[in-house]
Structure 1
Amino acid sequence: MKKKPKAKQNAPRHEEWTVREHTEVLEFLFKVMPSKSRNAVKGILKRGQIVVNDKPTTQFDDKLKPGDHVQIRARVASASIKLKGVTILHEDDDVIVIDKESGLLSMGSKQERQMTAYKQLMDYVQSIHPKNRVFIVHRLDRDTSGVMIFARSKIVQQKLQKSWTEAVQERSYVALVEGIVQKGGTITSWLTEDKTFMMHSSPKPNNGQKAITHYKVLKSNRRFSLLKVSLETGRKNQIRVHMQELGHPIVGDKKYGSEINAINRLGLHANVIKFTHPTSGKVMRFESETPSSFTRGF
């Protein structure tokens, strides 16, 4: 008996069944996928991955009869979608975790119509199915690189944002700053924003937002220090303002006091995020390697 040729390792995998009795699509899917949650099954159908007799369907009440052939086709993005400055670290039915390069906006505005991480991911998921969406959970400054989370639905976005403090167990950055930082510590202050969108720090409550930043010295020389920075709060420009307040602005951060741009970019990188998955409850941790330009001088 001839052996079947091995499938290509990277070929999309399809699950398939033959219908034995009269039923409807969603009811049938619940029966053949008992290990998946009902929401996960509905999501597979909604994204157009279900194919009946070689025709895609998204209708939960489509009729099935004995002999019908049902498939779940793997999600495949269009080959024309080329992500620039974005690397997908993880993707499932609820979240997408990316590594964003410096210089790329997380999300645009009415004034900013250029390509953003959000726009690229939207194009990516809609190339799989036109009804797919992504929703931004948190942002990184344009010139900050590193790990970001996007939600696949409004419900997941709101769940993550409302439980952000409890859901995120670790959120750390690597910062290259000017001068010699002698030892680590914690900065607590209240941040306010002026009409020019500059953030200002005050040691006393002043109707601003409380911001807490922990920092630890990893390396230092006569010109620079490399710090590990952990956040208890995630305020706009928080690390940048607190490093300026410390007297050691982030390299390349002219807005907040830097006079040196030795690496031709902002010296701030979001290298770790650890969070509880909003649906499965599983703790997930993602790490992005520190840019080589940060450590070249040590």
Structure 2
Amino acid sequence: MNLSQNPNMEKYEVDEPAELLTFLLAIMPQRSRNSVKSILTRGQVFVNNEEVTKHDFKLESGYTVTIQKNKAAKAATFEKMNILYEDDSIIVIEKDTGLLSVSNEKENSHTAYKQLMSYVRKINPKNRVYVVHRLDRDTSGVMLFAKSEKVKQTLQHGWKDMVKERSYVALVEGVLTKNEDTITSWLKENKTFKMFSSEKPNDGKEAITHYKVIKSNNNLSLLSVYLETGRKNQIRVHMADIGHPVVGDKKYGSKINPIGRLGLHAIVLAFKHPVTGELLRFKSNIPKVFLKKR
């Protein structure tokens, strides 16, 4: 019997003795066995208000089973990342600086992708995750993965319409003359894989970046940056173009690094859920080192 009144909680009363996994499968017939096991693994199930993850936990008549919706994983430990949200279709993470999104020729182990792949395969060896978009190794913040090829394709093909907000904070060198502005250029990649702005219209991929100054001092400015397009290294190139490279970004001309990392953080990602159509918005805190007075 469902006793739930809270929209974020589903509460059931146990009518007869049963193992927890068997009970959950019976009350959630629309979900696959793997999906139900995943809910258990993530620590979303409570028996008499105590969290339980054991599949064979013995339920007695009169016990109360509560399921908390959309709870991030507790039963997993990750290096330089954590899960903000997970359901049957997507995983949203918060990535720290220094962690690759996916592998490259030099590193193939401690990537966000590899850690998530290992995590979902603990529930079922056939499970997979799929890369939807990427953050540079030294950029921190919110990042989205899909749990099926179909969802990945839906997100990538509909990215422009489905993503409603994609914003960053950037710590850049110097004090900007304009408090807010829009930078537009055509981005190309040279033979050394470095992006640059072409002076010729339509020569490359159009890139549009909006920025607004949050605060500044004599040496640095903290900016709120909104992407209208999502090109490789877009913010880094555009900040260098206007003479204010991102702090710590030697590749694009930065000369100082008082924070010991790249001054770029993906603070907000808001998008329509690829299956339900629900608008989801995830926000990560500005790294404290960006806010220190200097």
Length-normalised TM-score, structure 2: 0.77
CA distance in 2, matches of 1:147, 1:117: 12
**C-alpha distance after superposition, 1:134-177 (max 9, x if no partner):** 00100000000000000010000000000000000000000000
Q: Is the 8 A contact 1:251 1:260 kept in 2?
A: yes
Specify the SS of the correspondent of 2:126. coil
**C-alpha distance after superposition, 1:155-208 (max 9, x if no partner):** 000000000000000000000000001311000000000110110102432531
Given candidates 262, 284, 288, the residue that maps to 2:284 is 288
AA of the residue aligned to 1:150:
F
CA distance in 2, matches of 1:173, 1:243: 13
**C-alpha distance after superposition, 1:216-267 (max 9, x if no partner):** 0000110000000000111000000000001100000000010000000000
Length-normalised TM-score, structure 1: 0.76
Counterpart for residue 89 of structure 1: 84
Counterpart for residue 45 of structure 1: 33
CA distance in 2, matches of 1:105, 1:236: 14
CA distance in 1, matches of 2:279, 2:210: 22
AA of the residue aligned to 2:126:
K
CA distance in 1, matches of 2:160, 2:173: 30
Counterpart for residue 213 of structure 2: 217
Given candidates 194, 198, 201, the residue that maps to 2:194 is 198
Q: 2:16 aligned with 1:16, yes or no?
A: no
Counterpart for residue 165 of structure 2: 170
Q: 2:174 aligned with 1:179, yes or no?
A: yes
Q: Is the 8 A contact 2:99 2:112 kept in 1?
A: yes
Q: Is the 8 A contact 1:190 1:206 kept in 2?
A: yes
AA of the residue aligned to 2:159:
W
Q: Is the 8 A contact 2:168 2:267 kept in 1?
A: yes
Specify the SS of the correspondent of 1:16. helix
Specify the SS of the correspondent of 1:119. helix
CA distance in 1, matches of 2:20, 2:183: 50
Gaps of 5+ in 2: 1-18, 39-54, 56-66
Within 5 Å, give how 1:8-157 maps onto structure 2: 14=21, 16=23, 33=28, 36=30, 41=31, 44-45=32-33, 49=37, 81-157=76-152
Counterpart for residue 239 of structure 1: 235
Counterpart for residue 279 of structure 1: 275
For the pair shown, the structure with the greater C-alpha radius of gyration is 1
Measured on the aligned residues, the alpha-carbon RMSD in Å equals 2.9
Q: Structure 2 vs 1, CA of residues 261 and 133 (structure 1 numbering), >3 Å: closer, same or farther?
A: same
CA distance in 2, matches of 1:278, 1:102: 27
AA of the residue aligned to 1:296:
K
CA distance in 2, matches of 1:170, 1:17: 36
AA of the residue aligned to 1:104:
L
**Structure 1 residue 297: deviation in Å?**
1.8
Specify the SS of the correspondent of 2:23. strand
Q: Is the 8 A contact 2:171 2:220 kept in 1?
A: yes
CA distance in 2, matches of 1:272, 1:211: 19
**Structure 1 residue 113: deviation in Å?**
1.9
Counterpart for residue 62 of structure 1: none
**Structure 1 residue 128: deviation in Å?**
1.3
Specify the SS of the correspondent of 1:122. helix
Q: Structure 2 vs 1, CA of residues 208 and 45 (structure 1 numbering), >3 Å: closer, same or farther?
A: same
Q: Is the 8 A contact 1:78 1:127 kept in 2?
A: no
CA distance in 2, matches of 1:286, 1:17: 29
Gaps of 5+ in 1: 1-11, 19-28, 51-55, 57-72
Percent of aligned positions with the same letter in both sequences? 56
Specify the SS of the correspondent of 1:187. strand
AA of the residue aligned to 1:237:
N
Specify the SS of the correspondent of 1:271. strand
